[in-house]
Structure 1
Amino acid sequence: MRNLLRRAATTAAVAAAVAAGGAAVPAEAAAQYAPDHFKVCIYWGTICKVYVEGDIVWGNRTATITGNVVNTYGGSATAIFRSYAGLTYVDTDTRTASGVHTTPFSLVSGDPNLVGGINKIYTEVSWTDDGLDYYYSDEWLDIRD
């Protein structure tokens, strides 16, 4: 449904530009992708004590990821972002919140020289209190549409 609405808006914009005497830009040249929201938790009992939450804004070859790593348990919490182009691994980025702390972040993931760019980002969060034993959340997958 989102794709149909986006295509209708693009068609209307092109038609308006042509009617106004402007040149039409092919839809492929001005690709727009829907942003994604994510929240990934490590639970103690039923309480989400360590998590990463944010948004992904997809570009043609890269994606901008913004949000917060929230650590309400102490120790060290690390958000891990793995980017793929189809089945091909492209990039890993991490952000850490140490102690009882919230760490905001903004990063660009992917390869600007990769034709077609990334289309998948796996997100997870890890936590450790001693650097020896690590706990991991489930992975969350966002796919560019």
Structure 2
Amino acid sequence: MRKLLRRVATTAAVGAAIAAGGAAIPAEATVQYAPDHFKVCLYFNGLCKMYVEGDIVWGNRTATVTGNVVNQVGNSATATFEGYAGTTYVDTDTRTASGVHTTPYSFVSGDPNLVGGINKIYTTLTYTPDGLHFIDSETWVDIRD
């Protein structure tokens, strides 16, 4: 009988809190992270004629990466994005602009089941002038704040 009375009292208190506009169960906290902008260039005669540029919007466990691979030289330019959770490798995404072309991209990097989630993305641009040789840019690193 005592358990039943406690359950009735608890149910009445929760109902009163909801009726008064309060929440019976606290809502899950959402974390906001600062977005990042990046631009990685390969220079030809001192000019940035091949580049990958974009934005990273960080989530709790994944990141949305959007932007463009711009190739004003020809042949092939490939942007490589490597995602990490601390020092643990998570995934790799690539986007290519072949010929004199701009390739837009938008993708989600990370693993929604990985506790702590993705918090670092390495971006590199690779130029392939002849299909055999590769010229890499310096690697750009974005870290979730």
Q: Same fold (TM over 0.5)?
A: yes
* Unmatched segments (≥5 aa) in structure 2: 1-19
Using the aligned pairs only, state the percent identity. 75
- 2:95 maps to which residue? 95
Give the C-alpha shift of residue 27 in structure 1: 9.2
Q: Give RMSD over aligned pairs.
A: 1.9
Q: Which runs of 5+ in 1 are unaligned?
A: 1-19
* Matched AA of 2:111: D
- Tell me what 1:79 maps to: 79
The C-alpha deviation readout for 1:52-90, integer Å capped at 9, x for no partner, is 000000011110000000000000000000000001111
1:136 is matched with which residue? Answer: 136
Distance in 1 (CA, whole Å) between partners of 2:26 and 2:42 is 44
Query: Kindly tell me: are residues 26 and 55 of structure 1, through their superposed partners in 2, closer, same or farther at Cα, counting changes over 3 Å?
Result: farther
- Map of 2:120 onto structure 1: 120
Counterpart-to-counterpart distance in 2, 1:28 and 1:137: 41
State which drifts further: 28-37 or 60-69. Answer: 28-37
TM-score, normalisation: structure 1: 0.81
Shift of 1:109: 0.5
SS at match of 2:29: helix
1:5 is aligned to none
The size of the alignment, in residue pairs, is 126
Distance in 1 between residues matched to 2:25 and 2:53, nearest whole Å: 36
* 2:117 alignment partner, SS class: coil
Matched letter for residue 79 of structure 2: A
Residue deviations 1:107-136 (CA, integer Å, cap 9, x gap) = 111111101100000011001121111111
Q: Normalising to structure 2: TM-score of the pair?
A: 0.81
Runs of 4+ residues over 6 Å off in structure 1: 24-28
Match of 2:35 in 1: 35
Counterpart CA distance in 2 for 1:104 and 1:22 is: 45
1:65 and 1:27, CA in 2 relative to 1: closer, same or farther beyond 3 A?
A: farther
Deviation at 1:21, TM superposition (A): 4.2
Q: Which amino acid aligns with 2:126?
A: S
In 2: Cα distance, 1:25 partner to 1:103 partner: 46
What letter is aligned with 2:55?
D
